[in-house]
Amino acid sequence: MRVHKVLSGFNAWSARKTTWIHGAQNGASRCGRAALSSVSSPGPRVCVVGGGPAGFYTAQHLIKARQDIQVDIYERLPVPFGLVRFGVAPDHPEVKNVINTFTQTAKQSRCSFYGNVDVGRDISMEELQQAYHAVVLSYGAEGNRAMGVPGEDLAGVYSAKDFVGWYNGLPSCGQLSPDLSCETAVILGQGNVALDVARILLAPVDMLKIATTMNSSFDTARSLLEDLSSGAVDLSVERPGSLGVSALLTQRGVKPVTFSDWEKIDRVETQRGEARGRPREKLLTVEEMLQVALT
């Protein structure tokens, strides 16, 4: 596993989808509660940035491996599960199974989920590094990769990332509005995402398959656990964890969405789906999600 220098006094260990950063040695909750409320403890306090599969798998492995660790998961959207929710069909049985596993992790007494927190805007990386012994970066791709070919900016040409986000109800892709009245679609690429797009255009949604970042996440968690055990991470200095982050978010007017808040959204979406004979009908905007979660 490669080691990259990112800041003076900080190291980053990367394993495909996840990266963890530990604070400089001289730097000085319970799931479902209405505010950030993890209690201080002498054990390691770890922050996971990203509430998708990689983040939940990392949290799951850390919690199972150490009985004294506290893990807080921060997610930009008000809802958890990332690719499981926005990348594949929500009614696929494999997806349902993995959501059940992630829900069990989120309801562990030593794991807390805080949605609607945008790291880099609402809270800085430096502030997280002061609040936690280690910070794990487990977020997905933020942008599209341009091919550099003529015509890729024409109307009717979409990146697979945006198209997949659109048909799965990702709020940032809600305005895509592709014209599906044509009889022919051209897909450039033959990878997993290209095949997913082809299947969603040609076949029932429930034939989609789910990709997993589990092994990469477990590798990152193991690397972090090794450094916690070897003393590479200084645990002699207590870190405030989410208690320290809470004050900053309150000052900035940010209202985190806890896992129990997410369960309100889940119930509303399930009820909306049942009324239409579907497993679920998603709330499509962040505003709708927050209105349900925080009231």
For residues 52 and 165, the answer to whether their CB atoms sit within 8 Å is no
Q: Count structural domains, the chain.
A: 2
| Residue 256 and residue 114 in contact, taking contact as beta carbons nearer than 8 Å | yes
Residue 154 lies in a domain: no
User: Is 148 contained in some domain?
Assistant: no
Kindly report the backbone phi and psi dihedral angles of residue 225, in degrees, each rounded to the nearest multiple of 5, phi listed first.
-65, -40
Grade residue 93 by pLDDT with cuts at 50, 70 and 90.
low
Closest CA to 245 of 46, 43, 2: 46
Amino acid 14 reads: S
Question: Which of these three, 152, 177, 207, is where a domain ends?
Answer: 207
Same domain, yes or no: 122 and 85? yes
- Percent of residues, the chain, with pLDDT higher than 70: 78
* β-sheet with 18-22: strand ranges across: 3-7, 10-15, 18-22, 134-137, 45-49, 70-74, 111-114
In a domain, 25, yes or no: yes
What distance in Å separates the CA atoms of residue 258 and residue 249, rounded to the nearest whole number? 14
Q: Is residue 169 part of a domain?
A: yes
pLDDT band with cut points at 50, 70 and 90 for residue 110: very high
Q: Does one domain contain both 112 and 165?
A: no
Average the pLDDT over each of 82-91, 117-126, 237-246 and give the range with the smallest value: 82-91
- 170-189: per-residue pLDDT in tens? 787 878 888 877 778 888 88
Q: Are residues 200 and 228 in the same domain?
A: no
How do residues 247-272 score in pLDDT, each as one tens digit?
999 999 999 999 999 999 999 999 99
Question: What would the pLDDT profile of 133-155 be if each residue is shown by its tens digit?
Answer: 999 998 877 777 788 888 888 88
First to last CA, the chain: 45
DSSP structural state of residue 116: S
Lowest mean pLDDT of 16-25, 108-117, 152-161, name the range: 16-25
96 and 197 both lie in a single domain: no
Q: Which domain holds residue 202?
A: 160-207
d(CA 283, CA 291): 10
Regarding whether 193 and 216 lie in a shared domain, the answer is no
Query: Is 146 a member of any domain?
Result: no
Q: What percent of the chain has pLDDT over 90?
A: 39
Q: Does 20 share its domain with 120?
A: yes
